[in-house]
A = this chain, B = another copy of it.
Amino acid sequence: MDWKSELNECISRLAPDKVVYLTDSNVVRYLDIPEAIVVPAGEPSKSIAGLETVWQGLMRAGATRHSLLVNIGGGVVTDLGGFAAGTYKRGVRHINVPTTLLAMADAAIGGKTGIDYCGLKNEIGVFKMPERVIIDASWLDTLPQELLRDGLAEVVKTTMLGSAAMYDVLLDLPERLDADSLRGATEFSARFKEKVVAEDPTEQGLRRILNLGHTAGHAFESLAARCGHPVSHGEAVAHGLLVTLILSSRFAGMDPAAAGTYASRLLRRHYSPLPAGALDEEKLLELMARDKKNARYGEVSFVLLRAIGQPIREAVVIDKASLCETLRQYRSIMS
């Protein structure tokens, strides 16, 4: 079903006294909506200024506690709109219509909302579940390849956690990504994340598996930025997933061939190698040790897989020597 029909059906069911739309300056050109709150496209809208734009738009529209905010856009719009909806009159309902692959697979789902503050990402926000996240992969054809590759990493991550069959589909993706080839896996990813979040909305346990690939991924991302050759979040996570697969074959019984298959058919096909400066072993270890997701400072823990589609719920602590060997194996696979 296309997003408009699904949205209309959802609005009928929720019966709000008023519907207010929020979008950004890029997405608004694709919309045929009489009136919308429009924020500038890009991360700076996740700010107090952006928040005030949405609050004032809601007030101007005469929104009450029984109204509905529909956020149509990427992660910036759904994070910002969700936070505004969570705080306007102490909470009005909202629906997310993600228009980027990253937002469909990740950002728009799960109720984490917020803005950046004093240079820190998502420092201020609330947990506020959307009434519905409407996934329509047709939006993907409005995006440049670069943004599709960025979002693909989260889709790959989710299928690795949730479905060996869907993961196999991704192994056969064409080099040039498009809506048709991504549709099935995108919908699967969104619904899988919804399911995980429903079981553990405030990240006390199960939800942690969604960090698959992110411990190493964040370290790569930080180090690449620090050495003056920044890479996108998706690119960093894509490389982090290879580290995870190697660790999983060493410590969780995963078939060792999986790492090679992933590297040749997904990682190398869609992503560039990391800049050399992002591979410094000592610095990577230090960054991973500081990851806020570790239970204890300095003890680096990872979400691992027994096999594709079979995550281990409890994070596994990996010692420094094993991590070094794993990073060396990563480099030999990538070289």
Binding site for B on A (CB under 8 A): 48, 52, 55-56, 59, 64, 86-91, 112-114, 117-118, 120, 122-127, 292
| Interface pair B127/A91, CB less than 8 Å apart | yes
Which residues of the other chain, B, contact A87 by a CB distance below 8 angstroms? 87, 124-126
Which residues of the other chain, B, contact A118 by a CB distance below 8 angstroms? 55-56, 59
Which residues of the other chain, B, contact A112 by a CB distance below 8 angstroms? 90
Copies held by the complex: 2
Interface centre among A59, A87, A88 (most CB of B within 10 A): A87
- Beyond known contacts A59-B118, A126-B126: 9 more, CB 8 A cutoff: A48-B52, A59-B123, A87-B87, A87-B124, A87-B125, A88-B123, A90-B114, A90-B122, A90-B127
Query: In whole angstroms, how far apart are the Cα atoms of A55 and B122 in the complex?
Result: 13
Q: Which of B89, B91, B122, B126 contacts A123 (CB 8 A)?
A: B89
Q: What is the CB-to-nearest-CB distance from A18 to chain B, in angstroms, rounded to a whole number?
A: 15
Q: What is the CB-to-nearest-CB distance from A64 to chain B, in angstroms, rounded to a whole number?
A: 8
Interchain residue pairs A-B with the least CB separation, the first 9:
A90-B125, A87-B124, A90-B127, A87-B126, A90-B126, A126-B126, A59-B118, A55-B124, A90-B114
13 example contacts (A-B, Cβ-Cβ < 8 A) are as follows A48-B48, A55-B117, A55-B118, A55-B123, A59-B117, A59-B123, A87-B124, A87-B125, A87-B126, A90-B114, A90-B122, A90-B127, A91-B127
Q: What is the CB-to-nearest-CB distance from A303 to chain B, in angstroms, rounded to a whole number?
A: 19
Which residues of the other chain, B, contact A292 by a CB distance below 8 angstroms? 64
Query: In whole angstroms, how far apart are the Cα atoms of A126 and B88 in the complex?
Result: 8
Which residue on chain B has the smallest CB distance to residue A111? B90
Q: What is the CB-to-nearest-CB distance from A243 to chain B, in angstroms, rounded to a whole number?
A: 26
Which residues of the other chain, B, contact A122 by a CB distance below 8 angstroms? 90
